[in-house]
Amino acid sequence: MNKILSNKKVICLFLFPTLLLTAVIIVIPIFISGYYSLLDWDGIGKGIFIGLDNYKELIKDGRFLNSIKNSLLFAAFSLFLQIPFSLLLAIIVANVKKGEKFYRTAYFIPVIISTVVIGQLWQKIYNGDYGLLNSLLGIAGLDNLQQDWLGQEKTALICSFIPILWQYVGYHMLIMYAGVKSLSTEIYEAARIDGASNTQIAFRITIPLLKPILKVCVTFSLIGALKVFDLIYVLTNGGPFFSTEVPSIYMYTTIFDSFNYGYGSAISIFIILECLVFTMLLNLFFRGKEV
Amino acid sequence: MRKKNWKSGILHIFLLAFAVVQIYPLFWLLTFSLKDNVEIFGGNIAGLPHKWKIENYENAIGEAKVLSYFFNSVLVTGLTIIIVIIFSATAAYAIQRMIWKGRQAVMKIILLGLMIPIHAALLPLFMILKSLHLLNSYFALIIPYTAFGLPMAVYIIASFLASIPRELEEAAAIDGCGTIRIFGSVIFPLVKPALATVAIFTYISSWNELMFAVTFVSKQQYKTLTVGIMSMVGAYTTKWGQIGAGLVIATIPTIIIYLLLSDQVQKSLVEGAVKG
């Protein structure tokens, strides 16, 4: 048996495709990006090695800092609105007697739909002239609130967050719901015998026990917010006047519209580092809480 | 008791209201995909279509070539799923079950792939594909989708394998099966539940992927639904009905899969998230 399982040829054959693809498509490109980020390069000729100049320029680049500010603001919305709201939904749905499956299924539908479809759909909802939102406001008699939601700087940023929050509430809710359902029912019965109210049970028992799951959701939503690209690309592509620009959009336009390959790569390296740092911070935060 | 009913009634109203918030926009998409511009721009935005305009769908398919995008998406996603399953199942077996030094280290390296945002690989991949003359081909998407799908898939299948008892493999070995036979006829059928999870996860991410698709494919012939719809929107800005029809066509397969397998889909995506 052991002889069969240590057949070197088979091990190589089984591992080779996965290792090759992971190396060539994921690992090596990261290093190439790192190298590109040290170049002044338009993608056509040969790049000129300029050391860390791109990074030095980045920290002074107002447009870049603004894009970070936008993504952090979005991360804050995700953490402080989306996660608590999903948790509330998860706890309620896990405890209602009827319709559990219907609610789960309904809330989850937006998650599986393509961001392109979601983006196009919301663009039409927000449309200043014929959009659904303005039309509903009109029906409600709130004509003075009608506006071009994505077309003006003061509303565009918030309006581009909403569809993303909307799309993923169901995902977080479902992950937390699965967590709530996996807790043993005995502990609830014991709490009820001791006379605990529903709110007390939620705050004293359910939420503390859900900590590992909450960590998953918080990481998922924070890192997701820092990387966000698709929906902003479809909805506003960073406009008007960069008011909805996030780092990944800035990276994309720098590379593929301005052909500034070196500078764009520096932004992409920044995004990886930012995600790694926040992942480590979250690990520390949740570890600290467990002690 | 009456007080309790009253309370649960309020909760249900809240939950139903939120279900409307989640579903109504999609329902609205369906309604405007069946309206003509006279209705949409003439005041009937929110309501049901007065006259069902099936032509929107005919135009989306005929003029805007949505069917060809659809076919490309099916091909790219289908092949990606098949390749991910074969590669990840074999790799997971080699790592989880076979005996050799460095298994843990290799697993860790593969899992690192889960933490890497695809942004970082975008430009280098673009250059690599360009130098291999693979831009504007099905492989320009299948190869990266497969690579980025593998880490999660290996992880899901490896954790599933850990729960399978070794007796079956031992019995097959006594019967004289070699490693590949054992994998193919004993293990592969047993890990089917994990393969379903992997297939659903891979479907959702490849069918909906946008960044690689808009960057690596610009020829009409190879566009998948996500890129195709972006260019269709650019070309028919004012034809809402037709755009809506394209969006509906792009979404229908996902909705059908979801309605048929909603529990499995939910389970798979939760599992993927929790393990990732």
Model pLDDT for residues B14-65, shown as the tens digit of each residue? 999 999 999 999 999 999 899 888 787 777 777 788 888 888 898 888 887 8
Written as one letter, the residue type at B107 is M
Mutate to test the interface with A, among B7, B33, B168, B179 (most CBs of A within 10 A): B179
- Contact predicate B246/B234, CB 8 Å: no
Write down the pLDDT at residue B3.
65
Q: How far apart (Å, rounded) are the C-alpha atoms in residues B104 and A231?
A: 37
- CB-nearest to A178 from B120, B122, B270 is B270
Residues 6+ positions from A166 with CB-CB distance below 8 Å: A110, B21, B22
A3 within a domain of the structure (yes/no): no
CA distance linking residue B34 with residue B240, whole number of Å: 10
**pLDDT score recorded for residue A214:** 92
Residues A198, A182: Cα–Cα separation, whole Å: 18
Report which of B93, B195, B157, B92 is spatially closest to residue A4, judged by C-alpha positions: B93
For helices B139-161 and B192-208, give the axis angle rounded to 10 degrees: 150
User: Is A7's Cβ below 8 Å from some Cβ in B?
Assistant: yes
The Cα–Cα gap between A243 and B4 comes to 48
Close Cβ partners of A242 (under 8 Å, ≥ 6 residues apart): A63, A66, A67
Q: Which two tokens stand for residue B202?
A: 């891979």
ipTM above 0.85, yes or no: yes
CA nearest to B174 within chain A: A1
Segments in A37-113 forming alpha helices (H): 53-58, 62-77, 83-95, 100-112
Q: What is the pLDDT of residue A291?
A: 42
SS3 A40: strand
Q: Which of residues 123-182 of A touch B (CB under 8 A)?
A: 124-125, 129-132, 135-136, 139, 166, 169-171, 174-175, 178
| Nearest-by-CA chain B residue for A173 | B270
Q: Which residue has the higher pLDDT, A184 or B184?
A: B184
Determine which of B28, B40, B45 to mutate to test the interface with A (most A C-beta atoms within 10 Å). Answer: B45
Confirm whether A117 is domain-assigned.
yes
A122 contacts in B (CB within 8 Å)? 25
Radius of gyration of chain B (CA): 23
CA atoms within 13 A on the CB side of A220: 23
Task: Determine the distance from the C-alpha atom of residue B145 to the mean position of all C-alpha atoms in its chain, rounded to a whole number.
Answer: 10
Listed in sequence order, the DSSP H helices in B42-118 are 55-62, 66-96, 103-115
Structure tokens of B137?
């081909």
Return the exposure string of A111-129: e unless at least 16 CB atoms fall within 10 Å of the residue's CB, then b: bbbbbbbbbbbbbbbbbee
Rounded Cα distance between B160 and B177, Å, is 22
Sequence-distant (≥ 6) Cβ neighbours of residue A279 within 8 angstroms: A219, A223, B115
Instruction: Count CB-CB contacts under 10 A for residue A76.
Output: 13
The CA-CA-CA angle for residues B227, B24, B35, to 5°, reads 65
- Give me the pLDDT at residue A20, please: 94
Q: What is the pLDDT of residue A150?
A: 92
Nearest CA in chain A to B121: A29
Q: What is the pLDDT of residues B53-107, one digit of tens each?
A: 888 898 888 887 889 999 999 999 999 999 999 999 999 999 998 888 888 899 9
**Mean pLDDT for the stretch of residues B169-178:** 86
Q: Is the pLDDT of residue B239 over 90?
A: no
Please count the other Cβ atoms lying within 10 Å of the Cβ belonging to residue B37: 14
Residue of A nearest to B259 (CA): A105
Give the one of A5, A174, A175 whose C-beta lies nearest to B98's C-beta. A5
DSSP class of B266: H
Does residue A45 lie within any of the structural domains? no
Residue A205 Cα, gap to closest chain B Cα (Å): 21
List the beta bridge partners of residue A39.
A49
- For residue A48, the cross-strand partners are A40
Task: Measure the CA–CA gap between B102 and B108, rounded to whole angstroms.
Answer: 10
Beta-carbon separation of B106 and A15 below 8 A: yes
Residues of chain A neighbouring B255 (CB-CB closer than 8 A) = 109, 112-113
Interface test with A, best of B119, B156, B174, B218 (most A CBs within 10 A): B119
Average pLDDT, chain A: 90
Q: Is residue A18 part of a domain?
A: no
Instruction: Report the C-alpha gap between A248 and A267 in whole angstroms.
Output: 8
pTM of the model: 0.91
Q: Quick one: what percent of chain B has pLDDT higher than 90?
A: 51
What's the Cα-to-Cα distance from B36 to each of B24, B39, B42, B44, B101, rounded to whole Å? Answer: 20, 6, 10, 10, 66
B-chain residues near A25 (CB < 8 A): 121, 125, 143-144, 147-148
**Residue A40: beta bridge partners?**
A48
Nearest-Cα distance to chain B for A204, in Å, is 21
Structural domain including A71 reads 59-290
Structure confidence at residue A73 (pLDDT): 95
**B39: closest chain A residue by CA:** A130
Work out how many domains chain A is built from and give that number.
1
**Closest Cα in chain A, distance from residue B72 (Å):** 16
Residues in A touching B94 (Cβ below 8 Å): 10-11, 14-15
Considering only alpha carbons, which residue of chain A is nearest residue B178?
A4
Tell which A residues from 51 to 110 touch B, by Cβ distance under 8 Å: 89, 92-93, 96-99, 102-110
Going by the DSSP 8-state scheme, the letter that residue B63 receives in this structure is: T
CA–CA dist B241, B233 (Å, integer)? 11
Cα B208–chain centre separation: 6
Task: Give the residue carrying structure tokens 């359902």.
Answer: A181
Is there a contact between A17 and B23 if contact means CB atoms under 8 Å apart? Answer: no
| Residue among B158, B154, B129 nearest B218 (CA) | B129
Residue A49 pairs in a beta bridge with A39
Tell which wins on pLDDT, A185 or B156: B156
Q: What is the CATH classification number for the domain harbouring A72?
A: 1.10.3720.10
Closest CB to B178 among A4, A8, A276: A4
Nearest to A17 among B8, B87, B265 (CB): B87
Contacts of A24 (CB under 8 A, 6+ apart): B128, B147
Of residues A125, A227, A255, nearest to B123 (C-beta): A255
Task: Tell me the pLDDT tens digit for each residue of A127-168.
Answer: 888 888 988 898 888 888 888 899 998 899 999 999 999 999
Residue A69, beta-bridge partner list: none
Is residue B53 a contact partner of residue B35, using CB atoms and an 8 Å limit? yes
| Pairwise CB contact (< 8 Å): A18 & B270 | no
d(CA B251, CA A117): 8
CB contact under 8 A, B123 and A8: no
- Smallest Cβ–Cβ distance between A33 and the set B124, B183, B226 belongs to B124
Q: Which residue is closest to A175 within chain B, CA to CA?
A: B270
- What does the pLDDT look like over B123-152, one tens digit per residue? 999 999 999 999 999 999 999 999 999 999
Closest CA to B90 of B159, B167, B184, B200: B184
Closest CB to A269: pick one of B120, B183, B215. B120
Which residues from A are below 8 Å from B23, CB to CB? 106, 109
List the domains of chain B with CATH numbers: 2-54 (no CATH), 56-275 (1.10.3720.10)
Residues 6+ positions from A230 with CB-CB distance below 8 Å: A115, A116, A119, B210, B211
Minimum mean pLDDT range among A198-212, B194-208, B212-226 = A198-212
The region, left, alpha or beta by phi > 0 then psi within -120 to 50, assigned to residue A253 is: alpha
Hey, of A7, A14, A85, A230, which one would you mutate to test binding to chain B, going by the most B CBs within 10 A of its CB?
A: A14
In this structure, which amino acid lies at residue A113?
I
The number of beta carbons lying within 10 Å of the beta carbon of residue B17 is 9
First to last CA, chain A: 44
